Amino acid sequence: MEDSITLSGSDNLKTADAKAWLRFLQVFTLTLGSGLMLAGIIFFFAYNWELMHRFVKLGIAVALILAVFAVAIKVKMSDFTHKITLSVLCGLVGVFWAIFGQVYQTTADSYVFFLTWALCILAWVYIADFYPLWAIFIALVSMGVIPLFPDNSWFLTLLMLYGAVWTAFFIFAPKYLLNLSAPPSWFISNMFVIEFGMAVFVVCLVIFRETDMLNGGITALNLLMALVVTVATIWYSLRQKNIWLYSMLFVGALIVLECVFIKCLTHEFGGLLLHLILSTATTIGAAFAIAVQYQKWKKEKSETSTNQSVIDNGK
Amino acid sequence: MENNSHKSKHLPWPLLIVMGLGGVIIAALLVGMVAINVRDNKIVYVVFSVIAIILAIAVSRSDESEDKEVKSLLASYPLFIIGFTFGYIAGIDFLTQTLVLQFVVALLSFALSKIHLCRQMQLCYASVVLPLIFFSYFDHLFSGRAMKDGNIEMSCFAIIVAYMGIFAATIKDNWFASTAIGDYLKTIRFATAAVSVALLWFIHRDNTAFAIFFAIISFVIACILLRKYVTGKRLIEGYVLALLCCASTAAYPAMALPITGMLLSFWLLDYVCLVIFSAAFICGISFFYYDLQMLLINKSYLLMASGALFLLAFYYIKRVTK
């Protein structure tokens, strides 16, 4: 009998065929093999860590950085793989600083570690122009910068301002910085959602802790900042026709209204009944507003794509 | 495969989030209102539960047109939540019977309702309630001693086997084509996979019978696939390789089940379930190495050796299929 592996499987389209199984087996064995091997190597160094000289410890981290850097420079690879390699490189810089801190017992605060790490990888993050890496960079900078904010009533305003600076940077900077591409929709949407989430949190806090926060202009400033963020989110969601962001506005509104209802209405039958009527009306209103807008934007998008295909066919 | 063309497929996720949040608020307020007035009168809860579920089914049956789906969902979804919550409050003293009743009601609601999303929720709820019935029966629903009870372990074993059987049966989608669940095979797979993986927590790590059972199932699946695609000498080599792989999972229950699940999920190209079983497999293999009673250095050698074996398998597969 002839030895063979049939690659043109007779499966119907709904199940995996021979080619798919082959790919699955290759990915499975490669991932599992390299994962177990890597874990084994890490455990090996972990076991012998105390016995190693500090130069060896730092040397391992530096050697890894140099090796990955050499791969990123010398080896031909796809754009995506190149970006992933640069991301690994950025991660290894953090490993290096962690070992440095452990070896020399620098007793530095954690935010110094994150800030140093972020500053060291800034150039690579900019060169990679890879938005998942930008997201990690923002997280690192935030872990370094936010602890420096003064812990008083201005904190939330500063936090919203800080988020707004990042969001504005990614909206406007791609026009002026040559290497920076326009951010993908998921990235900017999430930036806005986080920023808007902070604004909603601030408003809810003002509703529930009015006695603490009604001192002078701080509450007004917090609310003003929340209002600016909300207006910016509305502007962006309408401009980009982003249904996700548009819906998040209603989720935020629903949460704020619930806080108002809980605060203002009594917890007896009459209060609960009124609460129920108002909540039902709000939910129905929000759901219909989203459904209508969704249908409208969907229609506009399909019309635009039809017009585009007509123009393309004309060419 | 799932054909949900007639209903909620057209509703965007953000809308479902808003409706989900609003529905929970409405349901909570209604429950609160009744609780304030009724207090401990269980009969009233029963009556409200029955009314809410009947209303929910009626609402979910009345509007079949797509444009009215939002309206129907907004009414039926909170009503279902209210119905089941009141039912639960009413029967808290007879928990096992209440859960059995809830399971039956969930299946009935699935059969009678016409809104796709509601039916998906009923199926998921029924698949979660079934193991809870056993937990309640052996008096461990709130006790936290379930991990040590052999009866719970046996029940979980039986439920996992049954659920994986249902999961595997969905390969033959033509069996279900003319039935009500024909459009919900993907939901059934998701629910059975998620619940089976969750129940794995109650299977003891030294339960060899469980591990061997699923290792054999994995081997049978591998043999079926090998016989389908491979012939001659390579078939024997394939059998040996499959036997080695499946035998290695027979040492640990938390590895054996996920491997079977991964094979079945990939067979059906169900990537959601593949992710669930893959995550369970990663947890299982991590626990396996963590539980090994040996020095860290020996663990590292073992890890490197097993890694090398899988890399060898990778190169072997690549070479023979070139």
pLDDT of residue B231: 80
Average pLDDT over residues B199-218: 90
Average pLDDT over residues B105-134: 89
pLDDT of residue A263: 86
Q: How far is CA A156 from the centre of its chain?
A: 20
Q: Mean pLDDT of successive 10-residue segments in chain A (315 residues)?
A: 43 70 88 90 85 86 91 85 89 90 80 91 91 94 90 83 92 86 90 93 84 67 90 91 89 91 82 87 87 84 74 65
Q: Give the Cα separation of B321 and A262 in Å (integer).
A: 66
Average pLDDT, chain B: 85
pLDDT of residue B7: 44
pLDDT of residue B31: 83
Q: Give the Cα separation of A288 and B115 in Å (integer).
A: 18
Buried b / exposed e along B57-66 (16+ C-beta atoms within 10 A): bebbeebeee
- B310–A36 CB contact, under 8 Å: yes
**Using CB atoms, which residue from A18, A24, A283 is nearest to B26?**
A283
Residues 168-197 of A with CB under 8 A from B: none
pLDDT of residue A12: 45
pLDDT of residue B2: 43
Domain ranges of chain A: 52-148
Residue pair B131/B195 in contact (Cβ under 8 Å)? The answer is yes
pLDDT of residue B8: 47
- A3–B233 CB contact, under 8 Å: yes
Residues 230-269 of A with CB under 8 A from B: 243-244, 246-248, 250-251, 254, 258, 268-269
pLDDT of residue B40: 77
Q: Give the Cα separation of B55 and B62 in Å (integer).
A: 10
pTM value is 0.78
Helix, strand, coil tally for chain B in percent (to 5)? 85, 0, 15
pLDDT of residue B292: 87
pLDDT of residue B4: 39
Residue among A129, A258, A276 at smallest CA distance from A204? A258
pLDDT of residue A312: 67
- B74–A287 CB contact, under 8 Å: yes
**Using CB atoms, which residue from B1, B229, B299 is nearest to A43?**
B299
- B234–A25 CB contact, under 8 Å: no
- B313–A294 CB contact, under 8 Å: no
Select the more confidently predicted residue: A125 or B66. Answer: A125
Residue pair A247/B12 in contact (Cβ under 8 Å)? The answer is yes
A288 and chain B in contact, CB less than 8 A? yes
Binned at pLDDT 50, 70 and 90, residue B273 comes out as very high
pLDDT of residue A132: 92
Residue pair B109/B56 in contact (Cβ under 8 Å)? The answer is yes
Average pLDDT over residues B224-239: 84
- Residues in A closer than 8 angstroms to B314, CB to CB, are 26, 29-30, 33
Average pLDDT over residues B298-309: 91
Sign of CA dihedral A197, A203, A204, A205: positive
Model ipTM value: 0.81
pLDDT of residue B263: 93
- A30–B233 CB contact, under 8 Å: no
Binned at pLDDT 50, 70 and 90, residue B67 comes out as low
Q: Give the Cα separation of B228 and B207 in Å (integer).
A: 32
